[in-house]
Amino acid sequence: MPIYFGCEENKENRSLVACMNANLSHDIQNQVTYFSNIADYLQVQSAKSKLKFTISKEGKFSDLYAEGDNPIFNSVAMSSLILLQSKMDKAKLTIQPGKDENNNPVDVVMSLPLRYESDNKDNDFEKFPVFERVLFTIKTNEENIEIRIDKDFNLKTYGNNGDREYYLGKFSNLFEIASVDPYTEAFENGFKTGLIDVTKGLIDGKEYKIQIKNFFENDPNVEVLIIVFREENGSWAEYYEYKTKKEFNQSKFAKLTYR
């Protein structure tokens, strides 16, 4: 078996696996905790995922895959290993790889269960208000593309060219979406600027635009904010900033994300 940091004293495969699960879970817990920043917006009280990965013969994480009902939590699970690998690379650290009977390094496939539980009580979570909610909107020269999540936590995309709306596809996590054009460039801009468009629409005769700030941040200490802009005299001005997603969900602007 591979030997993870802090497990060097273990000799048997069973104890190595147990030690790796415990230490690796601890190292990525901050990323799992980060999910609380967006769970209340999605009105999620609990989520679980099985994170599958390979520890390569070079002692690095590869072939990441997350399996679970919530694609956003799956994305957080995968990003946790990506961030951990980045930190290891910067520190020039590698895991001691597994070895075969001839003592040669080999790839080893592993899995790790992850679970999120909200600190809020049951009555703090309302039912998913509609069948689908908009997560992001991406604009191209030909169309607007909405990325939505439904009450069963399926991740889907819909296009609109001004004349009609049409279904584009279903994805298992945000990484899968971000690897396909035209989503790639929009997600890269979201990482760089910290802002990504959600949607816009009319309320009481005024047009409003909603953006999420820091959604792609991997630091659980960074606030994920929802910002509402209002169109005034041909330009957009910040109208209100929601520091909790629950507060936004209770506002009149939440219905702009309903589908």
Q: Residues 143-152: pLDDT tens digits? A: 999 999 888 8
The residue written with tokens 């999120």 in the block is 116
Is the pLDDT reported for residue 250 higher than 60?
A: yes
DSSP per position, 93-134: ---B-EE-TTS-EE-EEEEEEEEEE-SS-GGG-PPPSSSEEE
Cis? peptide before 129, omega within 30° of 0: no
Say what the pLDDT of residue 222 is. Answer: 75
Report domain extents, the chain.
Answer: 13-121, 132-257
Q: 44-48, 98-102, 194-198: which range is least confident on average?
A: 44-48
Rounded-to-10 torsion of CA 83, 85, 91, 96: 150
Tell me the per-residue pLDDT of 214-242, one tens digit each, with 9 for 90 and over: 876 666 677 778 999 999 888 999 999 98
Average pLDDT of the residues in 2-17:
89
pLDDT band at 188 (very low <50, low <70, confident <90, very high): confident
Is the pLDDT reported for residue 257 higher than 80?
A: yes
pTM for this structure?
A: 0.73
Say what the pLDDT of residue 130 is. Answer: 85
Average pLDDT of the residues in 31-41:
70
Is the pLDDT reported for residue 53 higher than 90?
A: yes
Average pLDDT, the chain: 86
Is the pLDDT reported for residue 126 higher than 80?
A: no
Average pLDDT of the residues in 176-190:
80
Express as a percent the part of the chain with pLDDT over 90.
39
Measuring CA to CA, which residue among 66, 245, 72 is closest to residue 155?
A: 72
Q: Is residue 116 within 8 Å of residue 35, measured between CB atoms?
A: yes
Residue 196 tokens, joined:
């990504």
AA letter at 218: N
Residue 201, Cβ density class (10 Å: 0-12 exposed, 13-18 middle, ≥19 buried):
middle
Express as a percent the part of the chain with pLDDT over 70.
92
Measuring CA to CA, which residue among 96, 119, 113, 97 is closest to residue 39?
A: 119
Say what the pLDDT of residue 258 is. Answer: 94
DSSP per position, 18-78: HHHHHHHHHHHHHHHHHTHHHHHHHT-SEEEEEEEEEE-TTS-EEEEEEEES-HHHHHHHH
Measuring CA to CA, which residue among 136, 203, 142, 225 is closest to residue 174?
A: 136
Which CATH class, in words, describes the domain spanning 13-121?
A: alpha beta
Say what the pLDDT of residue 62 is. Answer: 94
pLDDT band at 34 (very low <50, low <70, confident <90, very high): low
Instruction: Give the single-character DSSP code of 8.
Output: T
pLDDT band at 86 (very low <50, low <70, confident <90, very high): confident
Measuring CA to CA, which residue among 24, 28, 47 is closest to residue 36?
A: 47
Is the pLDDT reported for residue 153 higher than 90?
A: no
Q: Is residue 18 within 8 Å of residue 62, measured between CB atoms?
A: no
Report the alpha-carbon angle 183-36-230, nearest 5.
60
